[in-house]
Amino acid sequence: MIEVVSTPAAVIDATVSPAEVSYLVATESPVVFGIQRKDGIIVAVQSVISPPDETYIEYSGGFEASVGDSIALYDSLNDVMINTTVLTVDSPTEIIVDLAFDARYATDLTYFLNLTQRANYYLECRLKVNGTYQTTTMRFSPNTKGYVKADIAQFLSSEVTGEKTGNYIENSAAETNQSGSFTFEYRERYLGDTNTWTEEGNTWYYIFFVRSKEQGSNLYEYVATANTEGAFVNIFEKIPWTVGTPLDIQFWWNPAFAALKGTLKIYSAANVLLDTITIALDTACTGYLTSVKVSQDTIPELADHMTLEIEEV
């Protein structure tokens, strides 16, 4: 069996129930799913009276070992694998191995890997991006403890470009070249397997964005929720106007919000409100990096600075 033990998800607010979680990641940063292989979950360990250099193991997990199989037992106390051989199979969930019994094994041995029956083992993963499976799958080999570090960033990065979709005509535009959604699937592969795909279970979102390894790939600070404000993806201390070209301000549209609107407030140097403009936002932008157009011809002559607020309709 295999299970996902870690993901790039980040908790935004744990004080509410259910907790608010960010599933938004940067494409230009390691995007890692941690997956653990366990061929058998050890539920009981006992001594064998005679001979004393053997150990009885009861396990679950649906995997049947055979006499002569090479079995690697995980010792949680020392964080090492102990290599043994199956001497006797008492039942589909009971074996005896050539390991001198130690009383601590009753709690310290937690799972095992069968190195004989699952030769040439690797993990195969795939992405379904914006509703379509990528044509190429990913392969990852586990370490000696059965742990797989599945970094999908390279495959995710292939889905984006720096090219804008927004053409400065509509009030809002989904940047489909720079953002989107995906799901993650995986399966075990080895000689003779007939395994089917398992879905990780969440819908993930991505933005063409660079993050350091230390920061992590999750873009939680750009995710607005019912209880938490999100940051704009691009912000300016000084507006970079280009003659004849509108400005766009970008945010990520959390699908938790069915409909949003923008409120642009324009102020003079004395901080006097000059105008308030309501901007209708296209629901087709849901789940995407969204560009909001601000046209120069809508800005009063005495304008000095402005604010933009995105809120639920």
Q: Could you name the CATH architecture of 40-114? A: Beta Barrel (2.40)
Q: Is the pLDDT of residue 241 over 70?
A: no
Mean pLDDT for 152-172 is 88
Burial of 48 (0-12, 13-18, 19+ CB in 10 A): middle
Per-residue pLDDT at 297: 80
255-295 per-position pLDDT tens digit: 999 999 999 999 999 999 999 999 999 999 999 999 998 88
Q: Give the confidence band of 21 by pLDDT, cuts at 50, 70, 90.
A: very high
Beta strand 204-210 with 24-28 is parallel
90-127 per-position pLDDT tens digit: 999 999 999 999 999 999 999 999 999 888 899 999 99
Instruction: List all residues 6 or more positions away from 253 whose beta carbon is below 8 Å from its beta carbon.
Output: 174, 260, 281, 285, 286, 287, 288, 289, 290
Per-residue pLDDT at 50: 72
Per-residue pLDDT at 99: 94
- Sketch the domain layout of the chain as residue ranges: 40-114
Mean pLDDT for 180-203 is 95
Instruction: List all residues 6 or more positions away from 48 whose beta carbon is below 8 Å from its beta carbon.
Output: 54, 55, 56, 96, 101
41-97 per-position pLDDT tens digit: 999 999 987 777 899 999 998 788 999 999 999 999 999 999 999 999 999 999 999
Mean pLDDT of the chain: 92
